[in-house]
Chains A and B, each alone.
Chain A
Amino acid sequence: MKKDIVIAGVGGQGILTVAAAIGLAAMEEGYSIKQSEVHGMSQRGGAVISHLRISDKEIYSDLIPEGTADLILGVEPMEAVRYLSFLKSDGWLITNSKPFINIPDYPEHEKLLSFINFLPHSIIVDAEDIAKKIKAPKSSNIVMVGAASPFLDIKKENLEKAIELLFKSKGENIVKSNIEALNAGLEAVSHKV
């Protein structure tokens, strides 16, 4: 078993929480993980990426080699596309559709989405809309974890356990709404898998 996942977004969107949720669930499953993060200057509204490597064998590099990622998980669509050089030929790109526009030259939204749709294996999810609908507007990142979950080879109960672990300190309600977000994300892609 080997899953190399590039998680992409903008500083402040909860990329590290996405990585931690999947990473903890993978460990619960008994796999090894390595997870590299970006701290520092880029976290101020800049492009942020995390490399998450899951395997049942020893993992050497902290960075995923180009052309080998099984999955690009985007919390923001342009950021997901930025790291396409990492994706292997039969890998999946799964991304939130909602753009985060804090630069003047952000590409046309339609053009961006149609480019993503044109990739051999891609899924676009309106995570913010889904999060709003279940009244958990801050959990769109966890909606994306749910949307990616069919591609992870990790049991859903272990993802739920990881979410509980991550949000425990914030109270029971926050745990509950994030587990709801996970399920809503999974639901949103179930007809596409």
Chain B
Amino acid sequence: MKKLLLLGDETIAQGAIDGGISGIYAYPGTPSTEIMEYVQRSKTAKEENIHRTWSTNEKTAMEAALGMSYAGKRAVVCMKHVGLNVAADPFMNSAITGVNGGLVIVVADDPSMHSSQNEQDSRYYGKFAQIPFFEPSNQQEAYDITREAFRLSEKFNVPVLIRITTRLAHSRYAVQLSEREAQNETSFPQNPKQFILLPSIARNRYKSLLNHQNDFLQAAENSKYNKYIEGEDKSLGIVASGIAFNYLLENYPGGKCPHPVVKISQYPLPKNLLKKLYDETEELLVLEEGYPFIEEQINGLFNYGKPVHGRLDGHLPRDGELNPNLVAKALKINYRQGFDSPDFIANRPPELCPGCGHIDVYNALNEAIKDYGNERVLSDIGCYTLGALPPFNSISSCVDMGASITMAKGVADAGIFPAVAVIGDSTFMHSGITGLIDAVNDNSPITIIILDNSAVAMTGGQPTSGEGRIAEICKAAGVNPEHIRKFVPLRKNHNQMVEVLREELNYKDVSVVIAERECVRVLQRNKKLKKQIVKN
């Protein structure tokens, strides 16, 4: 079989294709986006007619994947870590229903928050749902584990989670592929009541999940992805999970660590392997990307036993991602310092692209709201969140997908008028519509500015689910059509935009202002594509 140079995300996509999936479901989110994008480009996926269009949000993606599993086929659902919060309801309950066709949930965490609002550790979700989960340590393992996850899912009739982090998701390596499996035939679950979570049935299903816990543990104890690696110097034993294992080996020539090591890539935690390490060594050091998930479990509440070092006792930072140098420090290995950068080096934060329509909207909004102040402008997740930075300083919040509308409503409920929400078209489709309905039902005096650039821009310009239908959707949700206004955000329209915004800010019920202009990056990309097509 051939080798391919792939991003960690892409190895998972290739693993899912070769693992015989019939569908992939996802909403774009860094660092998970490239999984779906790879499947969408894949020739095999096209030939095999694998379902591969974007979902409106992570919850709808998770549910559609569960439906495909119900129908007997293998499905994968992919999201960034905070996306699993949105999909948490179907995710948690899928552990109770179990699966029919294999179901794998891939979650890409973003420690250090390169492109995120928090750095939550999805392993807690795996433990919370009490299902088996994986944490591959490199690109090859990511491919092999994706294949294995489907087998395990069908063997134990349970969804399986794969957790990766940014550095694995976005790093390339040549990966060895293996034979592709055929897709499953459609079939309904053998037990017709399996997916009916009425209390009486759910209690039985839950007992069945609990009865499987020991099987999951045994699978992890015997997994080839978990290893006890002998070492002569037993003054220290090291536990390293996921990519932290690579940072450990990086610190020793030829990857030969003198201490015994337990490498972990499959959960629940393999107790026997860890017990052996604990018994044979004097102290433990836990290296893990994310929260102190393993460290806390080894410690227990009081840690009466041997010293256990890691993120909790300051051997490693409590937050942020690891790297080879932080691990060297925890191992008390001296490392070479490079050169010092001069102190005149300035920060270069991300910014809105030149020509972006959001710039024109923020300029107009700042003028229209001058007399009230920008504290009353609530916003959301997307490129336009950069409007919080200078020179705009236009918005005062960014919390979670869709929160601009509902938070503006809360601000209005508290007695502040006017209150404004600024939200992108894709975020509106993802989680804004339900909040709009709340506001309409309460006649909340808020102005919702929808930045409609026909793209999920921040993640690379994927298509949006509401293309060309935003005004219709607002009308159907009950917004007075006279107060659904539109303009084209261009500098030459500045005065008109300010006027429209002023009028709607004064309206004492829900108003929607739609700023309609295509994302400049998507526009440029499409122009280039057209040129290429003409040339070829």
Contact = CB atoms under 8 A, between A and B. Distances in A.
Contacts of B353: 44-45
B67 to A, nearest CB: 30
A63 B167 CA distance: 8
A171 B172 contact: no
Contacts of A63: 167, 247, 323-324
Nearest to A36: B171
A134 interface: no
B338 A39 contact: no
B399 interface: no
B352 A44 contact: yes
Contacts of A57: 254
B34 interface: yes
A103 B31 CA distance: 26
Q: What band does the interface of chain A fall in when counting residues whose beta carbon is under 8 Å from B?
A: 35 or more
A60 B337 contact: no
Interface in B325-341: 325, 328, 335-341
A115 B343 CA distance: 11
Interface in A143-180: 169-171
B174 A39 contact: no
B339 A44 contact: no
Contacts of A42: 114-115, 350
A46 B339 CA distance: 23
A88 interface: yes
Contacts of A111: 344
A67 B383 contact: no
Contacts of A84: 338-341
B328 A65 contact: yes
Contact of A66 (B31, B114, B337, B458): B337
A185 interface: no
Given A35-B171, A41-B114, A60 B352 contact: no
Contact of A40 (B31, B243, B249): B31
Contacts of B206: none
A187 interface: no
Interface string A74-111: 00001101111111110000000000001101111001
A114 B494 CA distance: 44
Contact of B250 (A32, A60, A105): A60
Nearest to B245: A60
Given A37-B170, A41-B115, A171 B536 contact: yes
A85 B337 contact: yes
A43 interface: yes
Given A40-B114, A44-B353, A60-B246, A69 B170 contact: no
Contacts of A37: 7, 170-172
Interface string B448-483: 000000000011100000000000000000000000
Q: Is the interface of B mostly helix, strand, loop or mixed?
A: loop
A85 to B, nearest CB: 4
A23 B171 CA distance: 12
B338 A38 contact: no
A111 B174 CA distance: 42
Nearest to A20: B172
A28 B467 CA distance: 43
Contacts of A103: 346-349
Contact of A44 (B31, B345, B383, B532): B383
A61 B114 contact: no
Contacts of A88: 336, 338
A60 B255 contact: yes
A35 B350 CA distance: 22
Nearest to B173: A34
Contacts of B305: none
B2 interface: no
Contacts of A62: 167-168, 171, 243, 246
A33 interface: yes
A16 to B, nearest CB: 10
Nearest to A105: B346
Contacts of A87: 338-339
B375 interface: no
B250 A65 contact: yes
Contacts of B325: 65-66
Given A39-B30, A60-B249, A65-B328, A81 B171 contact: no
B342 interface: yes
A188 interface: no
Contacts of A45: 348, 350-351, 353
A68 interface: yes
Contacts of A189: none
B124 to A, nearest CB: 23
Nearest to A82: B345
Contact of A89 (B336, B342, B351, B386): B336
Contacts of B344: 107-108, 111-112
B5 interface: yes
Interface in B283-337: 323-325, 328, 335-337
A106 B346 contact: yes
A88 B341 CA distance: 13
A112 B168 CA distance: 34
A27 interface: yes
Given A78-B345, A85-B341, A33 B173 contact: yes
Given A64-B324, A66-B338, A106-B346, 16 more contacts: A38-B170, A39-B30, A41-B30, A41-B458, A42-B114, A46-B350, A60-B247, A60-B249, A61-B249, A63-B167, A63-B323, A66-B335, A86-B338, A87-B339, A103-B349, A107-B345
In the A-B complex, list the 3 residue pairs whose CB atoms are closest, starting with the nearest.
A40-B115, A67-B336, A40-B30
7 contacts: A37-B172, A38-B114, A39-B30, A40-B30, A44-B352, A45-B353, A69-B338
Interface of B: 5, 7, 30-31, 33-34, 114-115, 167-168, 170-174, 243, 246-247, 249-251, 254-255, 323-325, 328, 335-342, 344-353, 383, 386, 458-460, 532, 535-536
